Amino acid sequence: MEEKTKAGSKRTKLGFWKWAIASIVLRLILSYFSKYLNLSSRPEVSTPLTSLRRLAEGYWLKQLSISPYSGSMYHGSPLLLSILGPLTAKKIEGHASHLLCSLVSVIADFISAILIRATGHILVTAHGHSLKALGLDKLFKDTEILPSGDIAALVYLWNPFTIISCIGFNTSPIENLFVILSLYGASAGLVPLAAFGWVIASHLSLYPLVLVIPVIFLLGYGLDAPPRKLFVQSNLLVGEERSKDQVGVKNKPIKTTNFAWRRVVLFFFWATIWITYVLILCAISMKDYGGLAEMFKRTYGFTLTVKDLSPNIGVLWYFFAEVFDFFRNFFVIVFHVNILFMILPLAIRLNHRPCFLVFVYLAISSMLKSYPSVGDSALYLSLLVLFVNELSEMKLSFFLFCGYVGVSLLSPVMHNLWIWRGTGNANFYFATAMAYASFQIILVVESVSAMLNYDRKIRKLCTTPL
């Protein structure tokens, strides 16, 4: 039996690497034709914050000793100008610059997939230990636990959204990499790495700031598991049975409600160090162009005030194009505070599942952020697959799959009818954005409901006498 298990695991590993390498080869082939695919001009792929075309404009202005934030083109981090700017320089042949930038995205996607796979393996191991601690491992021994880490990594690599973002001449793969890096660092207990990933992801995109809550839960309480009360009750029962049997070994609880404050304090210590380091580098880069105040105004201020109303797959551009200027500031506050309103209730209800909480926060941010792209969906859909075993009974899965496919096909068609053919209008394209937001809402609601039902199932099995 052990030999068969080892042989099966070897086949699984070989199968994973074959599909992973095939996805990288596909990306490299598509990258060669990326300039002709013209994906960088698609509003679903590139946004004012992630477009490398805008970054190239900002780098060109900086080379001329002009502020990279002059005009209304570039609104990203000044650090990206120093790292990716030379790859977009005009002295490099146009097609070669596309290839170099695509190669960076391919490497970022591959590293992200490996980190997702490692995080999945950690979660599966922790899940098995949790069931064993509750005495339910025998009940679930007939249930095949899928290698969710491998599946999630392959979903990330083969997701059309991820592939399009990779060859779409934008920075979404890099932003996703640091979000995943933070999640992996917190899951593996690597506090400096978790702090570094969270700081850089928040610096590049702002919205990952909300992930500080699940990261704190990961470091304080540990990995995803059934509610902690079940472990306390189970350990008390075991202790009573041992005392009745007069066993002279003291029972040590496997899970408690104690919070590891030391690791959380260490996380904030490292986060402070990384934030200071990033701000110093940004200040050096912007010392001749207005300093940090100009950077905050042109990056985070631009994101929060929604000044660019060019069409995208979000819902804010259409709303603010129609709303009266007198009410604009009020609704800007309402839309952004709407994200914050959902943080606390979800944190209270799902504090025992911090990795799953990361998926929920990312999905909500993708719905309500100022300039969303398909790269955001590629990230949270891959993290959802990490819980393929717990969400096996989730409802409306096929409906949601068809909805995502339908919106992906209709969005470019409606955009073409509106912008190029003139046979449609903005309502056509906005209808697909509304449908996309609706499917995201349904996905979040159904996945949270399925996870809570799974926890109820575990609770019933723990309280039902065998």
Q: What is the pLDDT of residue 464?
A: 66
Least confident of 83-87, 165-169, 234-238, 445-449: 234-238
Q: Tell me the CA distances in angstroms from 210 to 25, 288, 363, 438, 460, one per residue in order.
A: 35, 32, 12, 22, 33
Query: How far is it, in rounded angstroms, from Cα 187 to Cα 118?
Result: 9
Q: What is the pLDDT of residue 2?
A: 44
Residue 257 pLDDT greater than 80, yes or no: no
The three-state secondary structure class of 240 is helix
Mean pLDDT computed over every residue of the chain? 83
pLDDT tens digits, 318-339: 888 888 888 888 888 888 888 8
The three-state secondary structure class of 170 is strand
Query: How far is it, in rounded angstroms, from Cα 198 to Cα 214?
Result: 11
pLDDT tens digits, 58-103: 888 888 888 888 877 888 889 988 888 888 775 555 556 677 778 8
Average pLDDT over residues 244-266: 58
Name the amino acid, one letter, at 298: R
Residue 226 pLDDT greater than 90, yes or no: no
pLDDT tens digits, 186-225: 999 899 999 999 999 999 988 999 999 999 999 988 887 7
Query: How far is it, in rounded angstroms, from Cα 50 to Cα 46?
Result: 6
CA nearest to 29, candidates 84, 113, 93, 103:
103
Name the amino acid, one letter, at 361: Y
Average pLDDT over residues 215-238: 73
Q: What is the pLDDT of residue 1?
A: 40
Q: What is the pLDDT of residue 144?
A: 54
Domain containing residue 416: 2-463
The domain tally of the chain equals 1
Query: How far is it, in rounded angstroms, from Cα 431 to Cα 410?
Result: 10
